[in-house]
Structure 1
Amino acid sequence: MRNLVLIFSLLFATTAAANEIDLKKFAHTYFDTMIATQAPDATKNDLENYFALLTDDVGHSHLPWVTDDSRLPDGKEAMRKGMLFYLGAHTEYSAELLNVFTFNNSAIAIRYRNSAKGIHPQNKQAIAYTQVMMEVLEIENGKVAVIRKYHE
């Protein structure tokens, strides 16, 4: 009986360790994939690479514009619709990763500086900004379940 408990304990520990992801590595992958979606030559494929990192019911806030980060069954689809609307709006884009913080195996904070120029797709007005952002990502089963974006 003792051997059986030991075997199951080792099996559980091995399975749990295999399910854990390297959050620092994931943060860098997320950042690189996310900024690719903002490039002037970004494609729908770049968006799909980004969406592959998210749960289907991802919650998203981007204060002060989007304040509700509720997880809904169509969360990823709603983000896809919004990001497709803005796809290719930038004529210039750059980003620099400043900091990565990880918390347990469940959260990441990414702080970065980005600059962009372009034309707003709805009102056709020129846009230009430089800002420092922080994204807090809640991780679930190796994917981003909630995104909270903050401006410095």
Structure 2
Amino acid sequence: MKKIVVALVGLVAFYHAHVVADNFDYDAFVKAYYQAQVATQQPDATKEDLEYYLSFLTEDVGNQHFPNAPDDSREPDGKALMRKGMSRYLGVHTEYKAELISYEVGYNAVVIKHKFAARGKRADGSEFSYAKTALDVLELEAGKVAIMRRYSK
């Protein structure tokens, strides 16, 4: 009897996960996620902008971002590590422009193609600028980003 109850609970949980996934609004998610990400790069980006962006991530998010973060392993404090790393760069851009080129969605996955360009000043006063086209691959879990991989040139 115990095995039947465990099996039924598992089946209900499995069914619920599929219904939630089938009803997930990928389009709304991509637009909100992308806008939140772009807001963190603006010259006037705030800690509130960063926290809003982080709200899209699981606590144990894995982040692969070549060449600086080549490992996509999920860490128990992945979101905290992202917060720490991204906090150092808040407000360093003097200009930032971004454009969402396209996106594709699949079951619990999103691929975002976008381009961005920035200018700014480092802590030592030196200036920098860059322009890139990137492909972000996001794996979702319960409606949040669990693993992100950025490929850019």
TM-score (norm 1): 0.86
Q: C-alpha separation between the residues in 2 aligned to 1:127 and 1:21?
A: 39
Partner of 1:63: 66
How far, CA to CA, are the matches of 1:128 and 1:89 in structure 2?
Answer: 11
Mapped to 1, the partners of 2:17 and 2:63 lie a distance apart of 30
Structure 1 residue 83 corresponds to structure 2 residue 80: no
1:43–1:17 distance in 2 versus 1, CA, 3 Å: same
Give CA deviations for 1:96-145 in whole Å, capped at 9, x if unaligned.
000101112x1001011101000123x43211011101111000001000
The CA distance in 2 between the partners of 1:25 and 1:14, in whole Å, is: 21
1:101 and 2:104 aligned: yes
Q: Percent identity?
A: 44
2:8 equivalent in structure 1: none
1:140-151 counterparts in 2 under 5 A?
Answer: 140-151=141-152
- Mapped partners of 1:102, 1:38: distance in 2: 24
Residue 92 of structure 1 is matched in structure 2 by 95
Match of 1:28 among 21, 28, 31: 31
Structure 1: distance between partners of 2:16 and 2:75: 32
Deviates more, 1:17-26 or 1:31-40: 17-26
Runs (5+) with no aligned partner, structure 2: 1-10
Structure-2-length-normalised TM-score: 0.85
Is 1:127 aligned to 2:131, yes or no? no
Which ranges of structure 1 fall in alignment gaps of 5 or more residues? 1-8
| 2:12 counterpart of 1:17 | no
Matched residue SS, 2:135: strand
Q: 2:114 aligns with which of 108, 112, 115?
A: 112
